[in-house]
Amino acid sequence: MANEEEQENELLVLESIYDSSVFEVKKLGRYPEGHFLVRVEVPKPFHVLVPRVNAPDEMQEILLEHLPPVQLDFELPPSYPSDRAPKICLSCPWLTMKELEKLCQALDNCWWQDPHAVVLYRWMTLLETEAGDILGLTSSHSLAPLFKELAHLRGNFRAARWKRCLTYRGYKRYDARCFKEMMDPRSLATLLTEFNSKEKRRLFNLQWIACQVCLSTKLGSEFELVLGCDHAFCRECLREHFRIQIESGSASQLRCPQEKCTTQVLPTQVKSLVGDALGSRYEESLLNAYLDSQADLTYCPRLQCQRPVVTDPDLPMAQCASCYFVFCLYCRMVYHGVQPCRLKPGEQRAIRDEYLSATPAAKQAMEKRYGRRTLQLLVDESLTQDWMQENSKKCPHCGISIEKQDGCNKMTCWRCGTYFCWICLVSLKASGNPYQHFSDPRSSCFNKLFEGAEELADDDHELGEFL
């Protein structure tokens, strides 16, 4: 069989075996040429040590499951396979020139075992299954020798100019078939982590997975991985879950739907699922929740403005940066300098009681003095404050008022999700067992989990989650 026919048959067989993303043939020049990408099998777990950018003597450890493939470019001369082996160029971003030379030597040995037969498939199999043993890969692989070698290659004018080294140069001689990209530690670390993430996602997309929400089995490509915890849910369920929480106004912080997972979903991921309108609404709710938790922030009292305003704790006034309105922090009216507010904070309760118990004539006189609307607002606000003081307590983390209707004394803040004790208002760690506070003999609330509770049955199932 003529060389040309054997080459055509070999390439045809390889194209039928491998996907175009792995094996590709180009027939642009005089001779057939192409490349294949080989993923080297590595031990699991596999750690790559990369020098830190600002401290080259210190190593940064990166845990990887997948590494960028070794690329073998080939050209088939007319005398292949009867007399000559294919011309090759071997490259890989995380291997040194010496390591690439070892692989070239292994490919040469494979050719000489049967020098008159087609060899591309044997080469690809060798790189896939034996490259790790040839390179002596262990569970930890340092890239310090690689960057030391690159520092030597950068002394070459051609390498420094074109950001690569095609052939051997300088004081060291390398196999001309080895190709080396010039990359700094930061770029290589980014390349390795991004490739690892993309490869994990690619393999995940090919699997059949059961959604934990709808219990339907779908391809991984129809699932969304929550960034930060990698819990997977089908996009339809996750989108609907986020949409309901945002539209109901209960989404101060959207978290992973997985049971007991506290990972907060990134706003960018939420926006990609629910769309720009609901995504912007969620971002606005996050901003408002943050502003409400800041003690040095208030809002402009003008109804047409309502922008957040930074206050100075040493000053009784503030100025809105948007509409430039200067107002008193106590009465929320135009700043009146040294003049007292219409209603001093210490007199509000007395004025309210006097107004509520006054005769119609006395009420009319007070309304002329303070204003009917002002007095009505004072009554409403003071009654609300009295009720809140008697029936609610403030969250120790964000300060929002919370009412306890029934159940045990382990409370959960509806805004920030903080666990706290209703009796002593101490914050309980969300990552541990919040009920430990009530079972610790050293605690002042020991054995007081249900003290004052009228209905206990509703919280029995919640206690079981932490036992």
**For position 121, what pLDDT does the model report?**
93
- Give me 401's structure tokens: 């008022």
Residue-wise pLDDT for 113-169, tens only, equals 988 899 999 999 999 989 988 988 888 888 888 887 777 666 653 443 333 444 434
Residue-by-residue DSSP string for 315-380 = -SEEE-TTT--EEETTT-SB--TTSPPSS-GGGHHHHHHHHHHS-HHHHHHHHHHH-HHHHHHHHH
DSSP strands (E only) in 214-334: 217-219, 223-225, 232-234, 297-299, 308-310, 317-319, 326-328
**For position 118, what pLDDT does the model report?**
92
Domain ranges of the chain: 3-196, 208-292, 342-394, 402-467
CA atoms within 13 A on the CB side of 463: 16
Residue-wise pLDDT for 163-206, tens only, equals 344 443 444 466 778 887 777 778 888 899 999 989 989 999 99
- Among the residue ranges 320-329, 358-367, 411-420, the one predicted with the least confidence is 358-367
Residue-wise pLDDT for 2-24, tens only, equals 888 898 999 999 999 998 889 99
Rounded Cα gap, residues 445 and 424, in angstroms: 8
Rounded Cα gap, residues 300 and 229, in angstroms: 39
**For position 294, what pLDDT does the model report?**
72
| DSSP bridge pairs for 232 | 225
**For position 431, what pLDDT does the model report?**
55
- The better pLDDT of the pair 327, 329 is held by 327
What mean pLDDT do residues 379-384 have? 80
- The one-letter code for the residue type at 234 is C
Nearest alpha carbon to residue 421 among 398, 450, 400, 442: 450
**For position 456, what pLDDT does the model report?**
43
Q: Which fold has domain 208-292?
A: Herpes Virus-1 (3.30.40)
Confidence band for 344, pLDDT divided at 50, 70 and 90: low
What mean pLDDT do residues 347-356 have? 80
Q: Is the pLDDT of residue 282 over 50?
A: yes
Average confidence score pLDDT of the chain: 82
- Catalytic residue from among 408, 413, 421, 445: 408
211, 392, 446 from 455: Cα distances, Å: 35, 18, 20
Catalytic residue flag (residue 165): no
Contacts of 89 (CB under 8 A, 6+ apart): 72, 73, 74, 177, 178, 179
Residue-wise pLDDT for 231-255, tens only, equals 999 999 999 999 998 888 766 678 8
Confidence band for 102, pLDDT divided at 50, 70 and 90: very high
**For position 112, what pLDDT does the model report?**
92
Q: Is the pLDDT of residue 71 over 90?
A: yes
What mean pLDDT do residues 419-429 have? 86
Q: Is the pLDDT of residue 458 over 60?
A: no
The domain defined by 3-196 carries CATH number 3.10.110.10 = yes
